């Protein structure tokens, strides 16, 4: 009987489905709801030591819908990190761990380019009982003037330094969350892992402009007639996320064996999750999907993933994690493989062609006849 239970960086999860950092983990109340519904772990909305400068606007989301069905397939947000005080978060971390001592609570943290600040936020979160950390080095909008989020994650040198600061004091597992807004995601991945991080989370949202209203001529989402580029998520980003997770997983496999990967990007079903796991992910994160479907969507996701495992006779996630990585190669190799296959097929066809009457074989009579026919 297959099981979804898994151990990642020493963390025991009942299943690989993790609430991704964002509104679904924005306070103790909703985090408790996620645990009650059976999510494997929860990553809180990103916290910082000083939330006074975090001021959100309304509206803050823009959505793309199918022209035919109206289904939402693209989602842009210009939402900032948590606007709740760090002291409040510390109290709620303690409250959550008191109520759910056996569940995995991961703190998403973001700070300025200041070693003392990073040491403080890691130390105080650990004292509050969090089980692991996700370093938000990848938010594509908001607070760039404070060198936070993607302003760090796009620069491997800065990323190496900041991750090193964190690893000096962290005693719990640390995942660095990657921005997709780079040419080669392998570069920040290597920087984070060389600095000692146990894992990578990928990808954060893609910097985007979701559209322009053709009546008002204003870009969306419009706030007092204006907007700013935001982060794009939902089903539409899944092919990009899969590609980048494959690249990160390949780096881990070849250069950092034993490190882990949490996949993010458009996951809404168990079948979606299976694809990320096949490309080397240890866990999968869902954020926009919860905002579309609610916390109970984890039930159908688990059922679909278990059905996939039963179909292929996999007992554990470890048995198929990364299985599909072996099928990626270069274009030149694809050309060679196809040429070899065609040559082998032609040779087999030629081999079956009768040269003289004594070669006819009763067992292969039909095949030999077909080989001699023109059409």
Say how far apart CA 99 and CA 91 lie, in whole Å.
Answer: 13
Say how far apart CA 371 and CA 12 lie, in whole Å.
Answer: 59
Output DSSP code: residue 183. Answer: S
**Does residue 297 have an active-site annotation?**
no
Tokens for 204? 């954060």
Long-range contacts of 348-352 (CB under 8 A, 24+ apart): none
Strand partners, 133: 107, 174
> Of the listed 44, 139, 163, 234, which one is catalytic?
139
E strands, the chain, are: 6-8, 11-13, 17-19, 41-43, 61-65, 72-77, 104-109, 132-136, 174-177, 199-202, 206-208, 230-233, 260-264, 283-286
Say how far apart CA 188 and CA 135 lie, in whole Å.
Answer: 13
The residue written with tokens 């074989």 in the block is 361
Phi, psi of 180 (to 5 degrees): -85, -5
Burial of 196 from C-beta contacts in 10 A (0-12 / 13-18 / 19+): middle
Tokens for 144? 């760039």
Q: Which residues are catalytic?
A: 139
């Amino acid at each position: 009987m297959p099981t979804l239970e898994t151990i990642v960086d020493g963390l025991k999860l009942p299943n690989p489905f993790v609430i991704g950092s964002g509104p679904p983990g924005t306070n103790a109340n909703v985090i408790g709801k996620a645990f009650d519904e059976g999510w494997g772990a929860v990553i809180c909305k990103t916290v910082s030591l000083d939330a006074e400068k975090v001021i959100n606007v309304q509206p803050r989301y823009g959505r793309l819908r199918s022209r035919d069905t109206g289904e939402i397939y693209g989602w842009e947000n210009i939402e900032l990190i948590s606007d709740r005080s760090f002291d409040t978060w510390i109290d709620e971390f303690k409250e959550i761990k008191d109520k759910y001592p056996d569940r995995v609570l991961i703190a998403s943290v973001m700070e300025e380019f200041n070693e003392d600040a990073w040491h403080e936020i890691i130390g105080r979160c650990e004292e509050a009982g969090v089980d692991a950390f996700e370093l938000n080095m990848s938010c594509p909008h908001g607070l760039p003037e404070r060198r936070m989020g993607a302003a760090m994650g796009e620069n491997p040198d800065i990323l190496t330094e900041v991750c090193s600061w964190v690893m000096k004091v962290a005693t719990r597992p640390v995942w660095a969350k990657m921005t997709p807004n780079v040419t080669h995601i392998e570069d920040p991945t290597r920087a984070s892992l060389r600095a000692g991080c146990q894992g990578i989370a990928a990808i954060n949202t893609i910097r985007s402009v979701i559209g322009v209203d053709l009546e008002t001529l204003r870009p969306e989402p419009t706030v007092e007639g204006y907007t700013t580029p935001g982060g794009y998520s939902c089903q539409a980003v899944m092919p990009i996320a899969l590609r980048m997770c494959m690249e990160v997983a390949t780096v881990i496999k070849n250069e950092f064996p034993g490190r882990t990967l949490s996949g993010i990007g458009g996951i809404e079903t168990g079948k979606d999750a299976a694809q990320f796991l096949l490309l080397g992910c240890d866990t999968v994160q869902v954020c926009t999907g919860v905002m579309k479907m609610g916390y109970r969507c984890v039930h159908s996701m688990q059922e679909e993933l278990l059905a996939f495992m039963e179909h292929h006779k996999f007992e554990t996630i470890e048995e198929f994690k990364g299985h599909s990585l072996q099928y990626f190669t270069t274009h030149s190799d694809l050309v060679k493989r196809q040429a070899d296959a065609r040559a082998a097929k032609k040779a087999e066809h030629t081999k079956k062609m009768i040269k003289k009457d004594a070669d006819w074989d009763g067992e292969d009579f039909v095949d030999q006849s077909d080989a001699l026919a023109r059409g």
